[in-house]
Structure 1
Amino acid sequence: MKHFRQLTLAVVATLAIAPAFAQEITGPDTSGKKFAVVGGYTLAEPTKNPMIAGERTNVDGDGAATLSANYYITDNIAIEAWGAADKFGNRVRTPNGKVASVDTQPYALSGQYHFGNTQSIVRPFVGLGYFEANTDGEKAEPTGPLAGQHIGVETAKGAIATAGVDVNITPTWFARADVRYMHDTTGQPNVTVDGANVGKAELNPVTVGVGLGARF
């Protein structure tokens, strides 16, 4: 996905230079602010393409709106609830073309460490937590090899790692860019066709997002 690669490069470059800016530039004082909410847009791309019914598949990525809420235990330690406000649509292809589609909607709870202090204009952060990705809308292509059959995909669950950066604009408003990696640690969700197990939906997606936040 071209847009995913472009946004990934931009966010990675921002994360790479953020520590230097965090040390050298001071900005609005955000001390005393315990809560933050962020609305943004995120692109998700699977890092693995699973074997389904003996064939290697290719699963497309997609973009969706996301929301997060943070509670700051201290100026540096926070708890974040993050999730997709809409569903990511994933098309499933084989060498013979598109065979199915499925929607995913991940949500996660993480602990975070924010570098710098309350007067840093640029504040990188890292996080680690637990995610689940609900799946629904499984559909077979009407003219494909799975036409007329019922497809099911179990919920993915596991660990999520986050790296990001906040850029403080005012004591209340800030911009955010982040990268997240979701790794299914349950043995991968089963994929069924008409009730029969035909493979594992091991996608382990990476997401890249940007957003605007408010702190209060």
Structure 2
Amino acid sequence: MQNPTLIVKRTALVCTMLACQAAHAQFDLHRVSVRAGPTTIVPNVTSGYLSGPSAPGTQIDVDSASGITGGLNYALTDNISIDFPLDLPFRFDVNGAGSLNGAGKLADIKALPISLLAQYRFGNAASVARPYVGAGAAYTRFYGARSSALLTPVTLSMKNRWSRTAQVGVDVPFNARWSLDIAATYVHLKTTGSLSTGQTIDVALNPMSWSLALAYRF
């Protein structure tokens, strides 16, 4: 199996090269579209165990979160485009699991995903719908953690991480300018949580996000 870090770096390089190609090409405003709409992120959590000293089997879980997101898309050709999602921070509840199952909320933390994707759109401008697939790299920043009464005075932090991301979606045009964009995005994200007491816990978040957006092409 290839090194995940190497895969991310290669993906980021491909996205950067495509972006540079767009920057050096003659700029065409009609190739640019913007979008905005609701997004729900659903973590698929696989938790390790909290390092000692702690109760055996101490794990965590992370709830889903929803918010408004947007994005910019630049079409290099009728089928290939570069996509830059524009997200506001999402705040996630971190709950006890394993031996802490049923204990409730331990803390909440903000996550800001920053990603860049290369997309391939099937069909053409005259198609009734434009299904697409995308792949790229994502950087997730974690900050603003707040402990619940259950965890206070101990505080929680999580490491920022690079990861791979993949996407499927469909763009349904209403006319030459407006369309409805529906997308599902997967991020292969693993991180490490740390407590102010020095204990750590590894966790795979691997979130799926579901987005519905109204898009406008200039």
- TM-score, L = length of structure 1: 0.78
The aligned runs of 1:1-216 (5 Å cut-off) are 33-53=30-50, 54-84=57-87, 86-94=88-96, 95=101, 96-142=103-149, 144=150, 146-184=151-189, 188-194=190-196, 196-216=198-218
Paired residues, what number? 180
Q: Secondary structure at the match of 1:57?
A: strand
Q: Secondary structure at the match of 1:201?
A: strand
2-side partners of 1:212 and 1:88: how far apart?
A: 20
1:173 deviates by 0.6
What stretches of structure 1 move > 4 A for 4+ residues in a row? none
What amino acid maps onto 1:113 in structure 2? Y
Point out where structure 1 has 5 or more consecutive residues left out of the alignment.
Answer: 1-31
1:133 deviates by 1.4
Deviations 1:119-161 (A, max 9, x none): 012000000000111111212112x1x2101211111321110
Point out where structure 2 has 5 or more consecutive residues left out of the alignment.
Answer: 1-28, 51-56
What amino acid maps onto 2:209 in structure 1? T
2-side partners of 1:97 and 1:190: how far apart?
A: 20
What does residue 20 of structure 1 align with?
none
2-side partners of 1:97 and 1:173: how far apart?
A: 44
Q: Secondary structure at the match of 1:33?
A: helix
The answer (yes or no) to whether the contact 2:90–2:112 under 8 Å persists in 1 is yes
Q: 1:182 to 1:212 in 2, by over 3 A?
A: same
1-side partners of 2:32 and 2:76: how far apart?
A: 9
What amino acid maps onto 1:97 in structure 2? G
The answer (yes or no) to whether the contact 1:43–1:207 under 8 Å persists in 2 is yes
The answer (yes or no) to whether the contact 1:61–1:88 under 8 Å persists in 2 is no
The answer (yes or no) to whether the contact 2:46–2:205 under 8 Å persists in 1 is yes
2-side partners of 1:173 and 1:104: how far apart?
A: 30
Two-structure CA RMSD over aligned residues (Å)? 1.7
1:79 deviates by 0.4
Deviations 1:64-84 (A, max 9, x none): 111111111100000000131
1:52 deviates by 4.8
2-side partners of 1:183 and 1:58: how far apart?
A: 17
What does residue 18 of structure 2 align with?
none
Q: Secondary structure at the match of 1:189?
A: strand
- TM-score, L = length of structure 2: 0.78
2-side partners of 1:141 and 1:56: how far apart?
A: 16
1:195 deviates by 6.1
What amino acid maps onto 1:55 in structure 2? T
